[in-house]
Structure 1
Amino acid sequence: MDEPTKVLFNGECPVCSKEIGHYARYAGKNGLPIRFDDLNTAARDGWGIDADQAARRLYVAHQGEVLSGMPAFRVLWAQMPRYRFLARVTGWPIVRPFTVLAYDRVLAPLIYRWHLRRKSRA
């Protein structure tokens, strides 16, 4: 049997935990072979990624390959029937560069800075 797709996410981030929580509930309800690992637990140890690096973006391990950012989202979405269209659309050659740019240069850095501010206040 193939190893499940694994997702490494920041459970302390309200945005991340809400979105990934939604995917986890969907995967569980539909019996999909996807495992969700919170980077703030011992589960991160198996990834070989330090907490700061892991907090900067989404990571997905699938078929022996670890991906991050939009490629990771595309792999995750492709595993879930309801979201396969997102995987396809965001992978189109004309769309892909814009989604990567939006995630890498705008969304992920904003969420990461918000994460750092929340941690410094705690």
Structure 2
Amino acid sequence: MNAPAAPEALTVLYDGACPLCQREISYMQGLAEGSAGSGLCFRDVSAADVQMPEAERAALLARFHVQRADGSRLSGAAAFVAMWARLPGWRWLARLARVPGITPLLEVVYRGFLRLRPRLQAMARRAASNTQ
């Protein structure tokens, strides 16, 4: 019997300058490192050494994205579902999200979060500066 094929690489493109993103991605990286064969890589697109056109960087920083090995990208709820499918303890949520109608509902919720994100980021930054 053949061993299951390793999943193709999936690169999580995230905003490392965002305190909310930093916290979530740190957690997800820990899960990925503990899961042999997750196929997840993480790339901070806010980092100065990441070379790309500024319009592309702005688009990547505005929403959550993952990039497949072929270079195609998923964003928003679809990107979260693709990442969750690779992580232990989160695969059940990816399966649930694939039920017809659920991912579009998650996208609506994510868009609502994006409207609140600047205020939440400011609150997180203030909280961090108060603890230093």
Query: Which interval holds the TM-score relative to the shorter structure?
Result: 0.7 to 0.9
Contact map agreement 1:10 1:55 (CA 8 A) in 2: yes
SS at match of 1:45: coil
**In 2, Cα distance between the equivalents of 1:45 and 1:52?**
13
How many residue pairs match? The answer is 117
Shift of 1:58: 0.8
Distance change in 2, residues 1:2/1:85 (3 Å): closer
Select which of 86, 91, 105 maps to 1:84. Answer: 91
What is the identity percentage for the equivalent residue pairs of Structure 1 and Structure 2?
27
**In 1, Cα distance between the equivalents of 2:30 and 2:63?**
21
Matched, 1:40 2:35: no
1:58 counterpart residue number:
64
Greater displacement, 11-20 / 35-44: 35-44
**In 2, Cα distance between the equivalents of 1:12 and 1:115?**
13
Contact map agreement 1:39 1:55 (CA 8 A) in 2: yes
For structure 1, the 5+ residue unaligned runs are none
2:28 counterpart residue number:
23
Shift of 1:7: 0.5
**In 1, Cα distance between the equivalents of 2:62 and 2:115?**
7
Distance change in 2, residues 1:50/1:95 (3 Å): same
- When you count helix as a share of all residues, which structure comes out higher? 1
Select which of 4, 7, 13 maps to 2:12. Answer: 7
* Aligned-residue CA RMSD (Å): 2.8
Residues 10-67 of structure 1, C-alpha deviations (whole Å, 9 max, x = no match): 1111111111110111111223321100011256436996222111111101242210
SS at match of 1:50: helix
**In 2, Cα distance between the equivalents of 1:60 and 1:115?**
23
SS at match of 1:6: strand
TM-score normalised over the length of structure 1: 0.78
Shift of 1:94: 3.4
